[in-house]
Amino acid sequence: MRVLAAMSGGVDSAVAAARAVEAGHDVVGVHMALSKSPAQHRSGSRGCCSVEDSYDARRVADKLGIPFYVWDLSESFEETVIDDFLAEYSAGRTPNPCVRCNEHVKFKALLKRGMALGFDAVATGHYAQLKHAEHLELHRAANGPKDQSYVLAVMGPGVLSQVLFPLGDIPTKEEVRTEAAARGLGVSLKPDSYDICFIADGDTRGFLRERLGAQSGPIVDGSGTVIGEHEGAYGFTIGQRRGLGLKIPAADGRPRFVTRIDIPTNTVVVGPAEELDVTEITTADPVWLAPDRDPADELEVGVQVRAHGREIPATIRRENDRIKVHLAEPLRGLAPGQSVVFYEGTRVLGQATCEASGR
């Protein structure tokens, strides 16, 4: 196959490209430039897509003896990831930009361009597995702590036949680094990137304030008493405890958390932890990957609502264009906008977006 290897400049994508070459594919490396003004260097483990990263990716491609190109996808990234990120926070929701990036940039935009150039598939360094059963299935990676199936579930069934995940069967990150070193790849000890890639300093609230402007408003308790002020309700998320800046402590001395964000009145509501517990979730915009499992019938599944969160037993049922979720045990701190992924064992059945939740 002609394979387009997405090369970020990190060790995972480097080993993925090397494995694709070793498997006998005709491989071309491509680095996606996602920033309109990329930094020259990364700051430790923060950020990605720097000029330094593109150089690292090129050196790996040279070592593997494959052609290498840099594709400017910054406009697509700005429109589909960053603009969506700002719009979702402005609406009082909590988006996952990695989900949006995988859906619209790393697969949709990259695949579209790759297919137009005659490539058969895209290989990435994501930790997930594809298994060929009656239908092509997406499964968790062998490396549980690094599993990325949660952020990949959104890509849809049509994409599964056009992607390769060469790292899916590697049980530990240490083995990936060892393999990179054995292959003579200079990125074997390069630190992983984390946090939101376009907020390299990790200050999400500062990024939102810079883009959206200060919008002062009250922080209130459950009775409506003003107990603090904020510079923008968009800077908070359901379940948040730190950084509230409350001026009046709770009468019982217990910590308080953000329990509701009222965007029309620019008000942040706080309360005790138990107010965050939910057992029912209504989701919208489902993406279903399992044609042999019909959510119109009640299904028993595992539900995950965070990239590395715990899976919780649940029953689900599709009602019109939504999937209703009943959790077997309370889940704490779920926010509208979060991705809800449905599992059957290690298999990903589908994904939807949290629209509302309650008890």
**Tens digits of residue pLDDT in 275-288:** 999 999 999 999 99
Cβ-in-10-Å burial (0-12, 13-18, 19+) of 223 comes to: exposed
pLDDT, position 194: 66
Q: How confident is the model at residue 134 (pLDDT cuts 50, 70, 90)?
A: confident
Taking the CA atoms of residue 102, residue 105, residue 107 and residue 110 in that order, the dihedral angle to the nearest 10 degrees is -160
pLDDT above 90 covers a percentage of the chain that reads 74
**Res 47 pLDDT > 70:** no
Question: Which residues have a catalytic role annotated?
Answer: 101, 197
**Res 41 pLDDT > 50:** no
Q: How confident is the model at residue 300 (pLDDT cuts 50, 70, 90)?
A: very high
Q: How confident is the model at residue 188 (pLDDT cuts 50, 70, 90)?
A: very high
User: 3-class DSSP state for residue 196?
Assistant: coil
Nearest in space to 152 (alpha carbons), one of 191, 178, 126: 126
Per residue in 19-29, pLDDT (tens digit) is 999 999 999 99
